[in-house]
Chains A and B, each alone.
Chain A
């Protein structure tokens, strides 16, 4: 694709207007020996401590989850990415993502782990002053202290900055007195330290406070009865004139909303890793069951209907994983560049993360919806046993559902994806206008009927992806032009645009991964991965076409609409592939290996 620049170091959101070189992306097939050992430790930890106790965990046996966190802490798993000066192991973001992925197969435990090591630890690590970090981080990294995060309130969920919790300075000026009600607080039942968000007096924005459980004025409600993740402690926390020393104000006054948003960006990305790990586990269980279960004299894994499901589970999971680690690497590189330019490491991490907030939202949506597909078909593959609480699919099915809700609902994340992209364009950080106009110009010109570039193994897919970018630019550009300020309120259109962006980003991440993998292993060693790529991108073209068409049919009209619909058809056109045979090939590998194996 000659008209789109290929870059090595991609900035956040730039995937829409630039090409990425395959050798610049990180792919999970590149884990080094040490990282693989860490992954194995996670797998062994789940096998030894978590899997045999899943029922006891879900029954919330007194002290059990806290004990498991202690065990994880003793192995060092709670401090993987905490700097060594604060008692951690100073590993990079990708490695902490790998830990999140592997522990993601641990059902409720993975929620407790993620809440502690993510939203429970990172606000203090990233925004705390040195005294705060010295006091809390080493103990959070070891598991001696358990962390929780109090943002959501009964009347403020997605609209987090509208919380009613208030803080006021005590008369002697030594304490903030926090009053308010927080709900859906993960780990509340056993947490020692809470990051609590409240507005000081009549401030416009939230502030954040480090609150210890033994401070006066904290009451916990009973455990919530939830659909899934039953072993995760979830309670309401009431603060009644809770006395918080003034030195426990985290960062500056009114900086809380920024903290909340930035920590959520990391949380969304991490949710991607966790759900990929859960998906792989469910696929392995489903393949194993399909190989064991016989009907009409044959294992059900021999039937095409089951093979389709197994293949599709693997295709979506492999694609999601490609995006997770591509973005993780991008965030790390952005952070390194900011450090190189003179920024301190903490702020560099925050800015690096913020830069990839669009990708984080995309990953959150795609990976959580992938897991929901995987568990749904997992139940189906198990048939009657899938509906039995004695088989693992029951728990997996219920536990999965929350991922589309917390860390910002998928609807909020879809809207954010588009909103952030357009805001960056308006600020001049991302030049969408130029490429969008180019596409608009191309619509008027004679279509490109033939390939002029040299054909190679990936030229078709690269061409498709370049065209997907044009499709998004065309529909998004027209939506901005037609709907202008009204676009923010046209949520259905925003959903359409987000779906197009998500499919584009994941398709490209997958294509780049497979291209790099082929360069490492050769074509013969990547047959199934090539099938995965072809099927996924073929399906993505249809999804992008459908979403684009829905949007155009809403806001465009007349000749312009006809022209854009024709353009959309052109930009989402792919050659027919034998997707049935491709899925059979993928399933055959899964069935032979008796587990998720890509």
Chain B
């Protein structure tokens, strides 16, 4: 089985977002980047587990990004990918991202394409489903468990108020969330091997985003917590009425 794992570079979760150029761009200076946790902890690690259990033979990684995304790709290679492909484009449009990946993956005979349920920066959560459509593959979203039984994937996913179990023949695209696998730590052997694992850069042939970002806004600063004496219910009621305006 050949698996393709889609990897996205995202700002570290502790990043303080600074806007520039009249709030149309996010300042990248001083930002440290990580692998999108849904891509790393769940999609990639599950692919590694499938390889370790003998189900999968190859794990390829793909990312859409400029050269500055290579450290993150090599980090993913250190965790366990066999080779990586960087599609050389600066892209925040999910449709175009899916088009780029589909363009690469179309004739590569992947049996399974895994991605995170969303990236933690733009939170669109749509690349997986659009990719499946573009490749004319089946799609299961928001998986919490992935098993392979012969030529069939058995996938659990959360639904409102419960859980469903799906069965679907390979090839297919699955987006992953918590439960699919446990986070792993890159070991020394993987880190050293990452240097020698192939990282190919390809240039996409199309460039036609469906969306563009007009501007960003930071959320309003959180107000401080006000402590009210438990004995003073009148003050609480007054504040809820006049300040919070919820009663």
Contact = CB atoms under 8 A, between A and B. Distances in A.
A binds B: yes
Interface of A: 33-34, 36-38, 40-41, 44-45, 48, 74-77, 79-80, 89, 294, 592-595
B186 A33 contact: no
Given A37-B78, A37-B194, A48-B183, A79 B71 contact: no
B189 to A, nearest CB: 6
Given A33-B71, A33-B74, A41 B192 contact: no
Most buried by A among B187, B189, B194, B224: B187
A41 B187 contact: yes
Contacts of A40: 75, 186
Given A33-B71, A34-B192, A75 B78 contact: no
Nearest to B29: A525
Contacts of A77: 188
A75 B191 CA distance: 10
Nearest to B183: A48
Contact of B189 (A44, A45, A76, A594): A76
B185 interface: yes
Contacts of A36: 71
B195 interface: yes
A76 B190 CA distance: 10
Contact of B185 (A34, A45, A593): A45
Interface string B14-45: 10100000000000000000000000000000
A33 B71 CA distance: 7
Nearest to B189: A76
Given A33-B71, A33-B74, A41 B183 contact: no
A89 B192 contact: yes
Contacts of B195: 34
A38 B185 contact: no
Contacts of A79: 188
Most buried by B among A33, A592, A595: A33
11 contacts: A33-B71, A34-B192, A34-B194, A34-B195, A37-B74, A37-B191, A38-B188, A40-B186, A45-B185, A48-B183, A75-B185
B191 A34 contact: yes
B172 to A, nearest CB: 31
Interface in B212-228: 224
Contact of B187 (A48, A74, A294): A74
Q: Which 5 A-B pairs have the closest CB atoms?
A: A76-B188, A75-B187, A44-B185, A37-B191, A89-B188
A554 to B, nearest CB: 51
Nearest to B191: A37
Contacts of B224: 294
Interface residues of B, number: 17
Given A40-B75, A41-B187, A76-B189, 15 more contacts: A34-B195, A37-B74, A38-B188, A38-B191, A41-B185, A41-B188, A44-B186, A45-B185, A48-B183, A48-B185, A79-B188, A89-B192, A294-B224, A592-B16, A595-B14
B195 to A, nearest CB: 7
B188 A80 contact: yes
A76 B185 contact: no
Interface in B75-97: 75, 78
Contacts of A38: 188, 191
Interface in B56-81: 71, 74-75, 78
Contacts of B183: 48
B230 to A, nearest CB: 19
Contacts of B188: 38, 41, 75-77, 79-80, 89
A40 B185 CA distance: 9
Most buried by A among B186, B189, B191: B191
Nearest to B185: A44
Nearest to A299: B224
B52 to A, nearest CB: 14
Interface in B186-245: 186-189, 191-192, 194-195, 224
A37 B186 contact: yes
Contacts of B78: 37
A103 to B, nearest CB: 13
Contacts of B187: 41, 74-76
Contacts of B194: 34, 37
Contacts of A294: 224
A263 B76 CA distance: 37
Contacts of A89: 188-189, 192
A263 B75 CA distance: 34
B13 to A, nearest CB: 12
Contacts of B189: 76, 89
A294 B225 CA distance: 10
Nearest to B186: A41
B31 to A, nearest CB: 12
Contacts of A592: 16
B123 to A, nearest CB: 23
B16 to A, nearest CB: 8
A595 B13 CA distance: 14
B73 to A, nearest CB: 11
Nearest to A78: B188
A420 to B, nearest CB: 35
Contacts of B192: 34, 89
Contacts of B191: 34, 37-38, 41
B185 A37 contact: no
Nearest to A84: B192
Nearest to B34: A40
A45 B185 CA distance: 7
Nearest to A42: B185
A187 B188 CA distance: 24
A38 B224 CA distance: 39
A594 B14 CA distance: 9
Nearest to B195: A34
A593 B185 CA distance: 25
A36 B74 CA distance: 12
Contacts of A80: 188
A102 to B, nearest CB: 12
A593 B16 CA distance: 8
A45 B187 CA distance: 10
Contacts of B75: 37, 40
A37 B192 CA distance: 10
A9 B186 CA distance: 35
A592 B189 CA distance: 37
A390 B71 CA distance: 38
A34 B71 CA distance: 9
Contacts of B16: 592-593
A120 B195 CA distance: 31
A80 to B, nearest CB: 7
Contacts of A33: 71, 74
Interface string B133-175: 0000000000000000000000000000000000000000000
A89 B195 CA distance: 14
A76 B188 CA distance: 5
Nearest to A36: B71
Nearest to A49: B185
A89 B74 CA distance: 18
Nearest to A89: B188
A437 to B, nearest CB: 51
B236 to A, nearest CB: 20
A97 B52 CA distance: 32
